[in-house]
Amino acid sequence: MISTPPRRLRSKKATSETEPTSVLTERKRAAEAAAELAAIVESSDDAIIGKDLQGIITSWNAGAETMFGYAASEMIGHSITCLIPPARQNEEAEILGQIKRGESLRHFETVRVRKDGSTVDVSVAVSAIKDRTGKIVGASKVVRDMTEKGRAAQALIASELRYRRLFESAKDGILILDAETGMVVDVNPFLITTLGYSREEFLGKAIWDLGFFKDTWANAEKFSELREKEYVRYEHLPLETSDGQKMEVEFVSNVYLVNGHKVIQCNVRDVTKRRKAEETVRQLNANLEQRVILRTAQLEAANKDLESFSYSVSHDLRAPLRAISGFSRIVLEDHSAGMDADGLRYLNLVEKSAQQMGQLIDDLLTFSRTGRQALNVQPVITADVVNAALDDLKTMQENRRVNISVGDLADCEADPSLLRQVWLNLLSNALKYTRKCDPAVITIGSRREGGMDVFFVRDNGAGFDMKYADKLFGVFQRLHLTDDYEGTGVGLALVQRIVQRHGGRVWAEAKLNLGATFHFTLTGGHDAA
Amino acid sequence: MLPDYGETEILLVEDNPTDLELALRVLRKHELANRIEVARDGAEALDFLFGEGAYAGRGGLQIPKVILLDLKLPKIGGLEVLRRIKGDPRTRTIPIVVLTSSQEEKDLVESYQLGVNSYIVKPVDFDQFSDCLKQIGIYWLLSNAPPKVNAP
């Protein structure tokens, strides 16, 4: 608004270089004091105007420029009456009269005119300016823009309204207490509706007299704790509404000063729903637990059923088989005299089939038992297990040439009897499928691979076509005719089950008529089944 | 002087008629079935031994040289029969051979815990079955030396 700052306060020029030093210093000090005063006057928002006893303006600060729109250069030397509306022209004479009598004027409210002709509500204070001899030579006027003040007041009202609205519309209950007396100063509508008490029932009552708080705030002692602590938080505070409904709230209170007076603000949040949700979650978890227990029980029952089924199979199916086998034999022994060759052959087939079925049942039961029995993992010297298995298979090596070479065998951790079964099955397979080889060559060993020991059995026997490799480990799966190589198709399924229960893996590579190699790992003996 | 074992050398407890017939045929063939008593369930076996029920008044306690006991029996099961015989001081000394189709580990373990003298799984193959029975008969009737009946 103002581009060039004009000189507003006259100050004496302290210049002459011929003056003595002491006088110079004196003057310098005076000049500094005047400059400081001028700066204060300049920075004031109020209009500060100096005038002589004739009402001629002698100084005009920045506040005056802002308030009235005149620059200092326009006003200094002119009469102040141009600021006074025509209806109030007599005011100036009165003011000057009072000043001349040595009286000063406290703030009085009046109206002045701006350069643009608009009026401004002001509060004016006037005091006399005296010269060194004490003679009144003029007056200083401090003019405050009351429009600004009004605006500030309005802003305050607006602010109060905003926060009031926040208080009124909050979805949390808010309670303001007098920290000295514990009396309720204010309560917001939310808390009123939530608890079902009227505003009157809240106001002027001590917090411990409010019905819904009685449990916790039964005495003033509790309240003083609240007052002392400055900050109190209760996660779950039980409250009771006026109609007897129980609810739970989160209660937070803060103590703060308002005009030097301690006030406690309490925020009350209804957590009944949250608590109910938590309770529901807890309930659901409990139900889940219950269902897991139930399922486990069902599984255990199913396992029991399976066990009793296996028991029946082993017991009840074998008896009729023994009868078939037994009586065909008796017929062959005692009554073969009158029988032709076909009859004899058929009876032999009956007996052989019964034996085969007996073997199937036994293998299946072994397979089922292997899946259920507990693992008893311990350190095992693999070479001992392999040698024992080879010893058991002596009869399969009789009357033929078999070259068995046992290489390095890493020791392992396994269930000894189950591991023995693995080696027994793999080695008997190797011996079985090399039956037509002369000589049979079987290589046994282990190698370190990917941080694991891989055990293997290699033979030069019948092998198989790799496209059937996925069927190799299935129960009752066979890749050869029973006529060529006998078996029930359980052996490798059993090997896989045992290896997997140890946390390991078994696989094979082979070529038809060029032998097969079976590899397996045992990782630590974690029951992966 | 030989102890008096009464009329019976073998008590065969077997409910399956074909198994029974096969067993009897084998024992007869090897002349081991001259003094054999057959019980078709556990209750009958106990009644016979203790002279109770249908066997009351037939001379009281019977002490055979050996009992061949199936496990899966009607009325009173084989393990219970075993428990009662081995639990009674009067019959405790009678050798009992469990002759069963069950390969279940728990049957085996429990039988031995109850004091069985031998546990044989009946082979399905008749040759093996008859061989097995013959050996049992010869061993317990001829080779084995039992204690005196009324020894404490």
Which among A448, A469, A444 is positioned nearest to A457, based on CA atoms? A444
Q: What does the pLDDT read at residue A218?
A: 52
- Most B CBs within 10 Å: which of A306, A321, A322, as the mutation test of the B interface? A322
Q: Does residue A248 carry a pLDDT above 60? A: yes
Q: Does residue A10 carry a pLDDT above 80? A: no
Q: What does the pLDDT read at residue A226?
A: 74
Which chain A residues are Cβ-neighbours of B124 within 8 angstroms? 318, 321-322, 325, 354-355, 357-358
Q: Does residue A448 carry a pLDDT above 50? A: yes
Q: Which residue of B has its CA nearest to A333?
A: B127
Q: Which residue of A has its CA nearest to B14?
A: A319
Q: What confidence tens digit (pLDDT) does each residue in A489-522 have? A: 888 989 999 999 998 999 999 998 899 999 999 9
Percent of chain A with pLDDT over 90: 23
Rg of chain B taking only CA atoms, in angstroms? 14
Q: Does residue A150 carry a pLDDT above 50? A: yes
Distance CA A302, CA A14 (A): 115
Q: What does the pLDDT read at residue A443?
A: 96
Q: What is the mean pLDDT of chain A?
A: 84
Do the Cβ atoms of A311 and B104 come within 8 Å? yes
> Distance of alpha carbon A149 from its chain centroid, rounded?
51
Q: What confidence tens digit (pLDDT) does each residue in A343-382 have? A: 889 888 898 888 888 888 888 888 877 877 788 899 999 9
Beta-carbon count within 10 A of B8 CB:
18
Q: Does residue B115 carry a pLDDT above 90? A: yes
Q: What confidence tens digit (pLDDT) does each residue in B50-89 have? A: 988 888 877 788 889 999 999 988 888 999 999 999 999 9
Q: What does the pLDDT read at residue A220?
A: 62
Cβ within 8 Å of residue A436, ≥6 positions away: A461, A462
Q: Which residue has the tokens 């030397």?
A: A77
Do the Cβ atoms of A355 and B124 come within 8 Å? yes
Do the Cβ atoms of B18 and A321 come within 8 Å? no
Q: What does the pLDDT read at residue A526?
A: 43
Of B19, B125, B126, the CB nearest to A319: B19
Q: What confidence tens digit (pLDDT) does each residue in A35-72 have? A: 888 888 888 888 999 999 888 999 999 889 888 989 98
Q: What does the pLDDT read at residue B1?
A: 36
pLDDT confidence band for B151 (50 / 70 / 90): very low
Q: Which residue has the tokens 């085969």?
A: A356
Which among B66, B57, B51 is positioned nearest to B96, based on CA atoms? B66
Beta-carbon count within 10 A of A523 CB:
16
How near does any CA of chain B get to the CA of A478, in Å? 24
Q: How many CB pairs under 8 A join A and B?
A: 61
Q: Does residue A411 carry a pLDDT above 90? A: yes
Of A314, A321, A323, the CB nearest to B104: A314
Q: Does residue A214 carry a pLDDT above 60? A: no
Q: What confidence tens digit (pLDDT) does each residue in A429-441 have? A: 999 999 999 899 9
Which among A355, A442, A339 is positioned nearest to A397, based on CA atoms? A442
Q: What does the pLDDT read at residue A280?
A: 92
Distance CA A365, CA A373 (A): 12
Strands A402-406 and A378-380: unpaired
| pTM, to two decimals | 0.48
Distance CA B78, CA B87 (A): 14
H or E element that contains B141: none
